[in-house]
Amino acid sequence: MLDINLFREDRGGNPDLVRESQRRRFKDVSLVDEVMKWDAEWRSVRYDLDCASKERNSLNNEMKQIKIKGRNPETNIDPDGTKEAAIKAAKAELATGEGAKKERLVVIEKERDAALKQIGNLLHHTVPVEKDEEHNRVERMFPPSGELPKLPGKGLTHVDLLHMIGGVEYARGVSTAGSRGYFLKGPGVMLNFALIQYALNFLTERGYTAVQPPYFMEKEQMAKCAQLDDFDEELYKVSGDGDKYLIATSEQPLCTYHVDEWVDERELPRKFAGVSTNFRKEAGSHGRDQLGIFRVHQFDKIEQFCVTSPDDNLSYEMLETMVKNAEEFYQSIGLSYQVISIVSGAMNDSAAKKYDIEAWFPGASDGKGEYRELVSASNCTDFQARKLETRCGSKKMGDTNKRYVHMLNATLCAVTRVICCILETFQTEEGITVPEVLRAFVGSDFIPFVRDPPKLKVKKSKK
């Protein structure tokens, strides 16, 4: 969430900056005024409580002096106890008032923070301002000429091709796991693990530390790094000894890796290669990509996750580097793609700037081909770090200037999707040519067809 001081003009804040960002997001601008209203009351009540605390300390000091001087008859300043009684009465009155104010402060803070959490991160000035994703801006293409490969081989889609090489069992997967269920097998498994290993090697060569995180998270921790909408549309809940949620991306547990910690600025940037199996309900994708493994409930993914200093535009430089890494990864495989800037109206709340990389799927749209998303890369600046209390610097007594690290995430390889694109791009009349960089991991340079195309009607689950 945003720094509350952004809403306080007397603390150097600029509420108009937040309003403008909300307007560019096509979001509710009145939330800014709501936050300011509740915050003004919060500060007033907090001031009263601070004053009451100072007064109570003063009364305690008076009482202490009465006790000390009362030990000697010659210095006793309260021989009849009237001063002590008056102090006790004043303290009791203070306590009554403080109790009511503390209760009110809790209510105010809850209302203020509820409004604050609905306000998105401050958008970077380079984000294209449009409401719908159809206006996403193309930044560059590969190959630079924009010339796309013609539909090779038999012109089939990944749905057919994965079946034909004996790499998947669709119907058995649906029967076992329900909609979007699948069994990878044989060459499908080999391609899956080849991409995982190649992607990990690719990032470790660039200074990333491989991390395999927990596959589920406590609800309290998940709430710090996932939007409320995600709980209903994306996350699977695991019931048992306390509610837990299966991760939808390794970004989520990697966000909490430094929760409530101070990160020494001399150790930044920190670059992690998250490797995990991910679980998504895809509730908002009903009817889309029902066939094949492009959009599924369970898949493996290698994620770039970086933590940087908040200073000197370093996080935006890191975002460009992370996108460049992904581009070089797909160039090395031999896929065509375009890099796009996501419009303001389609940005999630956490991101200040976001890129997607869309690869060319030559078999899509009945052989006409289309670009489809493989990578999402975001700079969330300090938006997530504030919720997580991940501070930048070293812990010092009396440090009132809170500095938070910046957090960034970018897909490197969502494995099932990349398999789909490889199959369509490298198909021949007899099978699939394995991209050169994957051959050592697959153990072959060619995967032949071993069966006919499947019937397109996938067996429905009983549910």
Q: Tell me, which fold does domain 4-116 have in CATH?
A: Helix Hairpins (1.10.287)
Residue 67 reports pLDDT greater than 70: no
- Residue 377 pLDDT grade (very low, low, confident, very high; cuts 50, 70, 90): very high
Tell me if 209 is assigned to a ligand binding site: no
Say which range, 118-122, 228-232, 360-364, 439-443, has the weakest mean pLDDT.
Answer: 228-232
If you count them, how many residues does the chain have? 463
Please tell me whether the peptide bond between 453 and the residue prior to it is cis, using omega within 30 degrees of 0: no
More confident residue, 64 or 336: 336
CA-to-CA distance for 191 and 194, rounded, in angstroms?
5
More confident residue, 168 or 66: 168
- Residue 215 pLDDT grade (very low, low, confident, very high; cuts 50, 70, 90): very high
Tell me if 249 is assigned to a ligand binding site: yes
Please tell me whether the peptide bond between 269 and the residue prior to it is cis, using omega within 30 degrees of 0: yes
Residue keyed to tokens 């300390």: 57
CA-to-CA distance for 356 and 342, rounded, in angstroms?
7
Tell me if 451 is assigned to a ligand binding site: no
More confident residue, 154 or 355: 355
DSSP 206-256: TTPEEE---SEEEHHHHTTTS-HHHHHHTPPEE-SSS-EEE-SSTHHHHHG
Residue 398 reports pLDDT greater than 60: no
- Tell me what pLDDT residue 130 has: 97
117 and 38 Cβ atoms separated by less than 8 Å: no
Tell me if 299 is assigned to a ligand binding site: yes
25 and 127 Cβ atoms separated by less than 8 Å: no
Q: Which residues contact 51 (CB under 8 A, 6 or more apart)?
A: none
Kindly report the average pLDDT of the chain as a whole number: 89
Number of Cβ atoms within 10 Å of the Cβ of 394: 11
Residue 352 reports pLDDT greater than 60: yes
Report residue 353 as tokens: 């700037």
Residue 7 reports pLDDT greater than 60: yes
- Residue 458 pLDDT grade (very low, low, confident, very high; cuts 50, 70, 90): very low
Amino acid identity of residue 395, one-letter, is K
Out of 2.40.110.20, 3.30.1490.100, 3.30.930.10, 3.40.605.10, which CATH number does the structure's domain 133-448 have? 3.30.930.10
Report residue 125 as tokens: 């000035």
- Tell me what pLDDT residue 81 has: 59
- Residue 79 pLDDT grade (very low, low, confident, very high; cuts 50, 70, 90): low
Q: Which residues contact 74 (CB under 8 A, 6 or more apart)?
A: none
- Tell me what pLDDT residue 228 has: 65
Residue 83 reports pLDDT greater than 70: no
Residue 64 reports pLDDT greater than 90: no
279 and 248 Cβ atoms separated by less than 8 Å: yes
Say which range, 86-90, 186-190, 388-392, has the weakest mean pLDDT.
Answer: 86-90
Distances (CA, A) of 229 to 90, 246, 367: 50, 15, 35
Residue 407 reports pLDDT greater than 90: yes
Tell me if 163 is assigned to a ligand binding site: no
- Tell me what pLDDT residue 462 has: 46
CA-to-CA distance for 189 and 442, rounded, in angstroms?
9
Tell me if 281 is assigned to a ligand binding site: yes
Tell me if 280 is assigned to a ligand binding site: yes
Tell me if 282 is assigned to a ligand binding site: yes
More confident residue, 454 or 231: 454
Q: Where are the domains of the chain?
A: 4-116, 133-448
| % the chain with pLDDT above 70 | 88
Residue 220 reports pLDDT greater than 70: yes
Specify the DSSP element, H or E, that contains 318.
helix 314-333
Tell me if 429 is assigned to a ligand binding site: no
- Tell me what pLDDT residue 463 has: 43
Tell me if 261 is assigned to a ligand binding site: no
Condensed to tens digits (0 to 9), the pLDDT of residues 240-291 reads 778 899 999 999 999 999 999 999 999 999 999 999 999 999 755 555 567 8
Residue keyed to tokens 């990333």: 208
Q: Which residues pair with 160 in a beta bridge?
A: none
Tell me if 175 is assigned to a ligand binding site: no
Specify the DSSP element, H or E, that contains 62.
helix 30-69
Residue 135 reports pLDDT greater than 90: yes
Q: What are phi and psi of 451, to 5 degrees?
A: -155, 165
- Tell me what pLDDT residue 459 has: 46
Closest CA to 252 of 207, 293, 221, 210: 221
Tell me if 158 is assigned to a ligand binding site: no
Tell me if 298 is assigned to a ligand binding site: yes
Specify the DSSP element, H or E, that contains 329.
helix 314-333
Tell me if 239 is assigned to a ligand binding site: no
Q: Are strands 337-341 and 216-218 parallel, antiparallel or unpaired?
A: unpaired
Asked if the domains 4-116 and 133-448 are classified in one and the same CATH topology, the answer is no
67 and 36 Cβ atoms separated by less than 8 Å: no
Amino acid identity of residue 382, one-letter, is D
